[in-house]
Structure 1
Amino acid sequence: MAHALMVWADSDRLGDAELKQSLTAAHEQARRTGAREASLVHGIYLCAHRQFRLAGEHLLKHFVEFPADEVAGLMLSAFHAGGDAALREAGDALVEAQYAIAGARSWPWASWLAWVRAEQGRAGEAVELADHALSLFPRSGVAVHARAHAEHELGAGPGSVVRLDRWLAQNPDAVQVRHLNWHAALQSIASGRFPDARRRADEVLGREDVGMRAAVNWRLLLIGRHPARLSEPGQVRQLLAHPRGMAEVFHTFNLALALATEAAVDDLEELARTAAADPRPEYRDVLAPVAQALARLCAGSPAAAVTLLQDLGERVERLEGVRVEREIVQDTLARALIDTGRHSRAAALLHDRVTTRAHHAYEDLLLTHRPASHPVG
């Protein structure tokens, strides 16, 4: 079991053949140990190979046989990564049921339910559950992460940054260090503390963190602020050309954002054409217009970007990722609407965020006419 988990953690650096061989061997060993272990390793195999829909379906069966299994809980992200709304809802219901079985003293299940509540937009409940989990186990990275998601919805701003930095100082070796710094950077952007956002992107996020850096930088560019260190276009092209470059739509979407930060219009248009010809609906029907819209906005044609983005609606969820990560599509549409003089539509688009988030300097700037020297477009 430990070997399978280690292989999964290292799967991005392993070739497909080595990954399959290692997990197949682990599964054979697990079968000799017991039914639970074999089921767990099978789930790990599916997650490591990014077969998230199959992994979610397998987990639904696993928890019938092995209720509240905390090791299986490590694979719960498969439900949201699968890109299937029904499967995601089944996963959310599963977590609720497993928490009820495990009881309120189970900090892992309290942490996972906090994450579910944050993704459901039930930020207050998410904060309560996360705080409860942390009271039981202060080192719970899942609980801190869930709270960060909820606080993004609440616009907690500097208060969230202080809490994240305090936890990170107490847990400097946590696997979430870079990602939680990314959340802190977004809170700094929300409250207008742009130098802090750039510092975290430059000093904490690595060259390999292309998606997180692009998400910070595209937000800064949309509001006319200088970005942090950009990814190299050659690096992004290399990642797109890799077999995994078009394997998961959310990964490809992040690469599109990285190209947008470089105003790589030709690359974005090529990506849009490739996605449009892809038989997978999430690529053809969602990523293609998003990539094309990014290209049009970078080329100074915001009206075309509006046309491409305005009717996507809930289909944006098919880009996978989580709410805070997909929100940037709405940001891009708001910017394009402002640049075409449609302030009232942009204001309506961001109304809920401006009226419910305590800190919304970012949204205020999105709704402001940008100067002609703005680096995007």
Structure 2
Amino acid sequence: MPADRAARPTILIAGGGVAGTLVTLHLARLAARRSTGIDIVVLEPNDLLGRGVAFGTPEDKHLLNVPASGMSALPEEPGHFVAWRAADDPDRPTHPYDFTGRREFSRYVRQLLTESLQAAGDLVNLRHVQQQAVTVRRSGAGALVTTAGGRRFRADAVVVATGLPAAGWDWAPGALRDSPFFVPDPWAPGALDVIRRDRTGPEAVLMVGAGLTMVDVALSLSEGDERRVLHAVSRSGRLPRTHARGPKLPTIPDVSDWGVSVEELRGRVQKHFTDVVRATGDWRPALDGLRVQVQNLWGRMSDEDRLTFVREYSGYWNVLRHRMPVPSADKLNALRAAGRLHLHSGATVADAEPLPRGGLRVTLTDGSTREVGWVVNCTGPRTDIRELGNPLLDDLLTPVHGVASATVATGGMGLRTVGGRLIDSAGSPEAPLWTLGALRRGELWETTAVPEIRTQALALATTLLDTLAPLPRRLADGRIVSGHHPVARPRDLLGLPLSTTAEAAASFNVGLERVMRLQAGADDLLREAIGHDPDFALAHAALAMLGHEAGAVVERVDVDAALAEAQRAITVKGDHRERSFVDVIARRVSDVRHSGAQALIAHIAAYPRDVLAVSAAVPTIAFSGVTDLQQEAWALVEGLAPAYGDHWWYISLLAFTRQEQSRFEEAALLAESALACEPSSGHAVHAQTHVMYETGQHDEGRVWLDHWVGETGRSAGYRAHFAWHAALHELAIGDLEAVRRRYAQHLAPPAVTGVRALIDSASLLWRWRLVGDQPPPAAPVIAAIGDDLLKRPQTPFIALYSAIALTADDDADGLAQLREHALGSSEASMHTLIVTACEALTAVVQQRWADAWPILEDLYPKLDQIAGSAAQREVFQDTLIHALVQDGHQERAEQLLAARPSRHRC
């Protein structure tokens, strides 16, 4: 079932290149798998996701420098990209070692994202906003992101996925930077097109840099223009090495004793290469195997050693690591053989001056000069993110109120994180800010290629959902089982461990959530959990509890059988909490008022976050609770605050408590707050409904409640009780035809039976008669209640409503039997208040008004000792007012009516 939009988290991803898109698609896949609703906002100026600098090229000749077999977006399916290519074009021969176009990979990622979103359906909503993020600020537990266009987005988590830094051109002298014949960014849209169209200046083009960017630029500018001569200049003059012509398995070294300093590691790396070349005849398996361990080795080094490596060895590493695809190398070699590509080492640009017919005369640092039409910047990404001029990164690194949201790692090569979560300048990783890919270079070094990014993206997506929308977790509980392995157990919705399987826990938790929301169907989900694991004692006990406590909604439970299964299963497995809960339910079934109540309170004292136990203890629509004294119930709820904090379920219970205390404004705010977090919270709706009734908002209350029941509350249990509330509003405004329609649809048997027929339907029929109308006969409701509830109720609260039901049926003999039952009870309120109520209502049935109203006047103020809500107890005041009128005390009746809180708004 899709999560309600108002309750689901929003994740904002700043950057929609491949890194950001991979996070997005993994979030969509995981959300669908978990049935978790999320909203995703991607801020990316490009019109298409999955492009960015690395994959935004429009030219098919620009190839990936990793074979197709290494380019799956799904870590768990290494052959996914290869299979996709085969399915995408069945007539095209494909091979896992193909070097395909970067443009094609970008299309693959977008298609996979589209498929993932379609599979997730309404669970995932994605918005692509074509703007750049420029600032991030903490906002409560989340963040507020502002774009360059001034738009603002609130999110529960932000992923900074800006990708590889742009190439720098600080090396260029001022005359070159200011020249229109200088191309600082060859990947800017149309940047190379102006060179292709140029027919006036010198034909030569100077490319500064000799890495993979130069390779792609050379291939682009040489195609279709035989006259073009290309020059590549760099300090080292080293071209990227080339991939092998066939796949080779990597040789992964054991690095456990390789040391930590850069010099120690250098010696071990050299030995590793020597050994592998000797064994295989090729250095590539050594490099590819070492790559697996690079992050481990990098993590051992100090910042000083890392910077030494970057300064002295990274150039050579990059030449070996970032290799050319074989087809690209073949074309480059052909250009060199034809004299159309020349490499120059040991120099870079020292100066430039314009030529009369366009182009530049460039002076190199070795003193030589060349006349060229254009100079193209092909140097690699800048290493220090503080020098990029990226507004978002600059903002993250700028202190706000003394603390910057991020700090740099290893000479500014990236940001410091804990597992991808940003560390602020105070050393805290608590802000809801994450990153991946290139921005983790300082702490990981190897983190810019798809094989690393896809793993980070999946891990990050998992972390985000675990943080923002957690499901049961498999965590060790410390117990030892055969084989001396620690047992890992799932968790319930409040983090308590469950002694069962993950599948059973998932069903149990959905059922538990329905109990918390006051939704129907929890019993079916508990049975589903038991089907997954017949020895799941907690599920058996919970089913027995629902059958015993909430019989109006759960009528198909054999309580004794469920309890027996719980007692059997707990001998098979279960921890102390689960054993305690099974024992509590057994006591509740046998002695709900005394030992059962005491055991339940003791259990909650030990396990305050046990939602099922707390649900049974607090008097609500669904459960009888442990006390009929309002003050004790209030104290129980208020005492749970440290255990629940601002959890929506607890806030819902607190809202009901506040309205019972006549703190209506506070109750309304609490209910609204809870509903903002969980719109399906039946407890919060119940509290708000009481507030509206007690403050005289009858028209508004009826409309609001009907809308909730018809929309958000379509899965609500206890619909009869909500219908009863709506009918009270209608009685208050005198819309008796609406009451009649509502009763026929929601409150007449067989729609209701048992407890709900007693508390809701029968009491409504009596109130209906008190307003002077003729309601439907009570006999069908009495039959639907059953003799046990009517004649032998276990609690004073049920007994009180039994008396009302018998009154609605004009059954004086039944009231006499109920009185005798109350006299025989060991509970004080049964043989005082209930006996008195039976005597008063017998006088009403016999129309002895002069006898009835004095007893009722004395009884009514004491009824708050029997719990129930003020709206429920009001039926006795209605009866008192009716008796006063019938006995000729109109003025006294009007005084009581005028003093009701429902005549005053909050």
Into which bin does the TM-score normalised by the smaller protein fall?
0.7 to 0.9
Counterpart pick for 1:178 among 708, 720, 723: 720
Residue matched to 1:316: 863
Partner of 2:651: 110
State the one-letter code of the partner of 2:765.
Answer: N
Inter-partner Cα distance in structure 2 for 1:70 and 1:39: 14
Q: Summarize the Cα distance change of 1:63–1:239 in structure 2 as closer, same or farther, 3 Å threshold.
A: closer
Contact 1:272-1:287 within 8 A present in 2 as well: yes
Cα 1:17/1:101, change in 2 over 3 Å: closer
Contact between 1:130 and 1:144, CA under 8 Å: does it hold in 2?
yes
With over 3 angstroms needed to count, the CA separation of the structure-2 counterparts of 1:254 and 1:65, relative to structure 1, is closer
Q: Does 1:150 align with 2:691?
A: yes
- Does 1:190 pair with 2:732? yes
Question: Cα RMSD between the aligned structures?
Answer: 3.0
Amino acid at match of 1:129: L
- Residue 767 of structure 2 corresponds to residue 226 of structure 1: no
Q: Distance in 2 between matches of 1:344 and 1:247?
A: 38
Aligned to 1:5: 542
Evaluate the alpha carbon distance shift between residue 150 and residue 255 of structure 1 in structure 2; reply closer, same or farther with a 3 A threshold.
Answer: same
Which 5+ residue runs of structure 1 have no aligned equivalent?
A: 360-377
Partner of 1:329: 876
Partner amino acid, structure 1, of 2:679: P
- Using the TM superposition, name which of 341-350 and 212-221 deviates more: 341-350
TM-aligned CA deviation for residue 314 of structure 1: 3.5
Whether the aligned pair in 2 keeps the contact of 1:126 and 1:150 (CA below 8 Å) is: yes
Q: What residue in structure 1 maps to residue 762 of structure 2?
A: 214
Q: Counterparts of 1:167 and 1:200 in 2: how far apart (Å)? A: 16
* Candidates 567, 575, 584, aligned match of 1:24: 567
Q: Does residue 160 of the first structure (1) align with residue 701 of the second (2)?
A: yes
Cα distance in 2 between the residues matched to 1:242 and 1:262: 15
Measure how far apart 1:132 and its partner are: 0.4
Aligned amino acid, residue 159 of structure 1: E
**Pairwise CA distance, 1:279:** 4.5
Q: Displacement of 1:68 after TM fit?
A: 3.7
Instruction: Indicate yes or no: 2:675 matched with 1:134.
Output: yes
The alignment partner of 2:850 has SS state of helix
1:162 Cα deviation from its structure 2 partner: 1.3
Q: Which residue matches 1:199?
A: 741
CA deviation after TM superposition for structure 1 residue 218, in Å: 0.8
Which moves more between the two structures, 246-255 or 328-337?
246-255
Tell me by how many angstroms 1:49 deviates: 4.6
User: Given the alignment, which residue of 97, 107, 116 partners 2:639?
Assistant: 97
CA separation of 1:235 and 1:162: change in aligned 2, threshold 3 A: same
Compared CA separation, residues 94 and 266, structure 1 to 2 (3 A): closer
**Change in CA separation of 1:118 and 1:354 when aligned onto 2, cut-off 3 Å:** closer
Structure 1 partner of 2:664: 123
Tell me the amino acid that sits aligned with residue 230 of structure 1.
A
Give the distance between the partners of 2:668 and 2:585, measured in 1 at CA: 29
State the Cα distance separating 1:55 from its structure 2 match: 4.7
Q: Partners in 2 of 1:354 and 1:110 — Cα distance?
A: 24
3-state SS of paired residue (1:138): coil
Corresponding residue number in structure 2 for 1:341: 888
| SS, match of residue 680 in structure 2 | coil
Instruction: Give 1:301's aligned residue.
Output: 848
1:95 is paired with a residue of what secondary structure?
Answer: helix
Match of 1:373 in 2: none
Q: CA deviation at 1:27?
A: 4.7
Q: Distance in 2 between matches of 1:50 and 1:205?
A: 30
Q: Which range moves more in the overlay, 52-61 or 154-163?
A: 52-61
1:242-261 residue pairs with structure 2 within 5 A? 245-261=792-808
**Matches of 1:48 and 1:38, distance apart in 2:** 16
Task: Judge conservation of contact 2:701–2:729 (CA < 8 Å) in 1.
Answer: yes
Q: Following the alignment from structure 1 to structure 2, what is the Cα–Cα distance between the partners of residues 267 and 151?
A: 35
Deviations 1:33-53 (A, max 9, x none): 222223333344444456145
Distance change (3 Å), C-alpha of 1:178 and 1:78: closer
Amino acid at match of 1:212: D
In the alignment, structure 1 residue 39 sits paired with structure 2 residue 576: no
Deviations 1:59-92 (A, max 9, x none): 443344334443433223259744453xx53442
User: After the TM superposition, which of the residue ranges 7-16 and 296-305 deviates more from structure 2?
Assistant: 7-16
Any conservation in 2 of the 1:53–1:78 contact (CA below 8 Å)? no
Equivalent residue number for residue 362 of structure 1: none
Q: What is the identity, as a one-letter code, of the residue corresponding to 1:225?
A: D
Question: Greater share of helix residues, 1 or 2?
Answer: 1
State whether residues 201 and 228 of structure 1, in contact with CA within 8 Å, keep that contact through their aligned partners in structure 2: no
**Range with bigger deviation, 57-66 or 278-287:** 57-66
By how many angstroms is 1:268 displaced?
A: 2.6
Give the letter for the 1:326 counterpart.
R
Query: 1:156·1:357 contact (CA, 8 Å) conserved in 2?
Result: no
The farther-off stretch of 209-218 and 61-70 is 61-70
Question: What letter matches 2:812 in structure 1?
Answer: V
Which residue of 2 is the match for residue 372 of structure 1?
A: none
With normalisation by structure 1, the TM-score equals: 0.82
Q: Relative to 1, partners in 2 of residues 1:299 and 1:242: Cα closer, same or farther, differing over 3 Å?
A: closer
Distance across 1 between alignment mates of 2:693 and 2:676? 21
1:259 offset after TM fit, Å? 2.0
SS of match in other structure, 2:773: coil
Distance 1:347 1:23, change over 3 A: farther
Task: Give the C-alpha shift of residue 332 in structure 1.
Answer: 0.9
Q: Percent identity?
A: 27
Could you tell me which residue of structure 2 aligns to residue 66 of structure 1?
607
The aligned counterpart of 2:393 is none
Deviates further, 349-358 or 197-206: 349-358
Give the match's secondary structure for 1:227.
coil
Structure 2: which amino acid aligns with 1:190?
A
Deviation at 1:274, TM superposition (A): 4.3
Letter in 2 for 1:353: R
Paired residues, what number? 353
Cα separation, 2, equivalents of 1:69 and 1:41: 13
Q: Secondary structure at the match of 1:226?
A: coil
Answer with 294-303 or 72-81: which moved more: 72-81
Structure 1 residues 229-286: Cα deviation after superposition (integer angstroms, max 9, x where no partner): 52348727x8335798332222232222222122223333443344345443222211
Query: What is the match of residue 262 of structure 1?
Result: 809
| Whole-Å separation in 1 of the counterparts to 2:759 and 2:813 | 20
Work out the CA distance in 1 between the residues paired with 2:871 and 2:591: 22
Mapped partners of 2:569, 2:896: distance in 1 = 49
What 5-or-longer segments of structure 2 have no aligned partner? 1-537
Larger mean CA deviation between 281-290 and 55-64 belongs to 55-64
Provide the rounded CA distance (Å) in 1 between the counterparts of 2:782 and 2:644.
49
1:69-127 alpha-carbon deviations (Å, 9 max, x no partner): 43433223259744453xx53442332232344222x1011111111112222222111
Matched-pair contact (CA < 8 Å) for 1:263–1:298: yes
Q: Deviations over 1:13-35 (max 9, x none)?
A: 55674364244335545xx3222
The one-character-per-residue Cα deviations of 1:312-362 (angstroms, maximum 9, x if unpaired) are 243323444332212211211111112212233323333331673459xxx
For residues 595 and 668 of structure 2, what CA distance do their matches in structure 1 show? 31
Q: Whose RCO is larger (CA < 8 A, sep 6+)?
A: 1
C-alpha distance 357-56 of structure 1, shift in aligned 2 (>3 A): farther
Supply the AA of the counterpart residue of 2:735: R
Match of 2:257 in 1: none
Once residues 243 and 263 of structure 1 are traced to their aligned partners in structure 2, the CA distance between those partners, rounded to angstroms, is 14
